[in-house]
Amino acid sequence: MFRIRKSFFPYPSLRHCKPQGREVGGIGMKKLSELAALVKGAKMLGDDVDIAAITHDSRKVKKGTLFVAIPGEHVDGHKFIPQAAASGAVAVVSARDPKEIELPAGMTLLSVQNLREALDSIVPFFHDYPAEKMRIIGITGTNGKTTTSYITRAILRAAGYKVGLIGTIQIMIEDETFEIHNTTPDVVELQETLANMRDAGMDYVVMEVSSHALDQERVAGIEFDTAVFTNLTQDHLDYHKTLENYKRAKAKLFDHVSETGKKRGKTAVINIDDTASKTMLAHAKCEHLTYAIEKKADLMASDVHVHAAGMEMTLTHERFGARHIHLQITGIFNVYNVMSAVGAALAEHIEPAVIERALTDFTSVPGRFELVKTGAPFAIVVDYAHTPDGVKNVLETARKIAKKRIIAVFGCGGDRDKTKRPIMGRLAAELADVVIATSDNPRTEPPQIILDEVEAGVEEKIAGKHHEKIIDRRKAIFRAAELAEEGDIIAILGKGHEDYQILKDKTIHFDDREVAREAAAHVLEAKA
């Protein structure tokens, strides 16, 4: 049994550290000239001013703010410069020709050639490089990032560390939660979040790192200590265009963890059962910790038994020994999620006994194979599965525990990768007994067109099974409950933890779990 090496943790007293450069009125302050000096070719037009905050959201501007004018696809931040100035902004940073910018009187312009590159240098410096004061665990992959991050957080907290989390569902600073709009926030929001975590005394930050974030360099200024790869399957091809581009974007995390910096003890934790692992390993110029079920790896799982109430397995590692673990979560896909979290914990030198205790106590992640309690004679499971592999994993797990039929309710998001729609339809038809195709987040696309593309895949494999196409998601869930019999499992896929639905002209409140309870109650009342 190995033990935590106290010398391994490079910042033993970080929660007692007072960040430098953040003492003016208790607010972080930098001279605009200091920020300009970091950016090649930057020009400061106007007076040098004290900067107390940086934001691209005019609604968040306060006195002394540097306002970032982003020429967005739908909204141009330059239009909000007057509003920002009225709220207290003293300067604006922009890559637009200064002649095209109308500045309110007394406002200074920081003119840069490339806005993104400028922010990558300016923002981490402004916040005194918060990632240097905490150990950062980055998790990337198509599926499993959220569950892995929550399990990793649970293990670290069981070891006595204070942990921040940044991910798909929410931001957490210990038990305090905050809303999040992207899996990985942009560099302005991310660095501010990390600064808040540092100032709150976090020892660790566990972060989901999306392919978009890596491609757009949102994690610039972050030196990762441990990087985790879960898997790679088809997703986001509307953005990356090819699976190869998508894979290369994911691999950038391992470039980041390999960079020489101030930290030591860096590790890449990689699932070598996934074929994309070869690329990740090639980019990881640091210590490797591999995990697998099928191949020979540093960390392996065997004697896996999956059942309705949970699962059990034997985990083996040279520093971990062979430990038989009982868990309260289920599904083969969760075996990999558990191993990725254990790999991260081993990389961070957490005691095996602590790891085992945390795994045993771990219960669930919101919207990830989440059982909705209804009192009905059939079961309802809600899951975020929105990729072909995600649909396959959830329905195969449901098949292992189902007493009778599986009723799948699912759809595909609009304005996203269209090629996966018929694939998901085929998988649902193959693996479920009843298929109800419905709307997910249609966004600007007509829901009927999305469903027609899903239905094309369903019809290839449905044969004589019952299937329906219902655009209204609420009606689809109610219909599933009407069709359900004792012992059936209704699997509602696509939205998971989300409590909204994005339509063409508005976003409405919609929570699959709430609607599922209402649908079950309606059926029970009708049969009473």
Q: What is the pLDDT of residues 442-476, one digit of tens each?
A: 999 999 999 999 999 999 999 999 999 999 999 99
Stretch(es) of the chain classified as CATH 3.90.190.20: 370-527
pLDDT at 17: 36
Which tokens hold the place of 306? Answer: 């999956």
For β-strands 321-327 and 310-317, DSSP reports them as antiparallel
Please compute the mean of the pLDDT values over residues 142-169 and round it to a whole number.
95
- Residue pLDDT, tens place only, 86-118: 999 999 999 999 999 999 999 999 999 999 999
Share of the chain above pLDDT 70, in %: 93
pLDDT at 474: 98
**In the predicted structure, residue 3 carries a pLDDT above the cut 50:** no
* Position 141 confidence tier, pLDDT thresholds 50, 70, 90: very high
SS percent in the chain: helix, strand, coil, step 5: 35, 25, 40
Q: Is 502 helix (H, G, I), strand (E, B) or coil?
A: strand
Q: Which of 392, 374, 319, 363 is nearest to 488 (CA)?
A: 374
Return d(Cα 230, Cα 436) in angstroms, integer. 30
Output the pLDDT for position 19: 35
Average pLDDT over residues 419-434: 96
- Which pLDDT value is given to residue 308? 75
Cβ 434 vs Cβ 452: under 8 Å: no
What's the confidence (pLDDT) of residue 508?
Answer: 96
Q: Output the pLDDT for position 181.
A: 74
Q: Looking at per-residue confidence, does 348 or 28 come out higher?
A: 348
Judge contact between 131 and 223, C-beta under 8 A.
Answer: yes
What separation, in Å, do the N-terminal and C-terminal C-alpha atoms of the chain show?
58
Closest CA to 190 of 213, 169, 215: 213
Give the DSSP H/E element, type plus range, for residue 383: strand 379-383
Q: How confident is the model at residue 527 (pLDDT cuts 50, 70, 90)?
A: confident
Where in the chain is CATH 3.40.1390.10? 30-126
10 Å Cβ neighbour count for 334? Answer: 24
The structure tokens 């009708």 sit at: 526
SS3 state of residue 313:
strand
How far CA 32 is from CA of 128, 157, 166, 317, in Å, comes to 15, 39, 29, 51
Q: How confident is the model at residue 75 (pLDDT cuts 50, 70, 90)?
A: confident
Does pLDDT of 21 surpass 80?
Answer: no
The pLDDT of residue 27 is 47
What kind of architecture, by CATH, is found in domain 130-361?
A: 3-Layer(aba) Sandwich (3.40)
pLDDT of residue 14: 35
Task: Give the span between the Cα atoms of 231 and 144, in whole angstroms.
Answer: 8
Distances, alpha carbon 98 to alpha carbons 46, 107, 298, in Å: 12, 13, 56
159 Cβ contact list (under 8 Å, min separation 6): 4, 345, 350, 351, 354, 358
Neighbour count for residue 359 (Cβ, 10 Å): 24
What is the overall mean pLDDT for the chain? 90
Over residues 269-315, the pLDDT tens digits come to 999 999 999 999 999 999 999 999 999 999 999 999 988 778 999 99
Confidence of residue 6 (pLDDT cuts 50, 70, 90): very low
Q: What mean pLDDT do residues 314-340 have? A: 93
- In the numeric block, which tokens belong to residue 335? 């075996």
For 304, residues 6+ apart whose C-beta sits below 8 A from its C-beta are 293, 311, 312, 313, 332, 335
Question: Under CATH, what is the fold of the domain 370-527?
Answer: Protein-Tyrosine Phosphatase; Chain A (3.90.190)
Structure tokens at 447: 């829901």
What is the per-residue pLDDT across 353-366, written as a single tens digit (0 to 9) for each? 999 999 999 998 88
What architecture does CATH give domain 30-126? 3-Layer(aba) Sandwich (3.40)
| 125 or 310, which is more confident | 125
pTM of the complete model: 0.83
| Residue of higher predicted confidence among 249 and 448 | 448
CATH 3.40.1190.10 intervals, the chain: 130-361
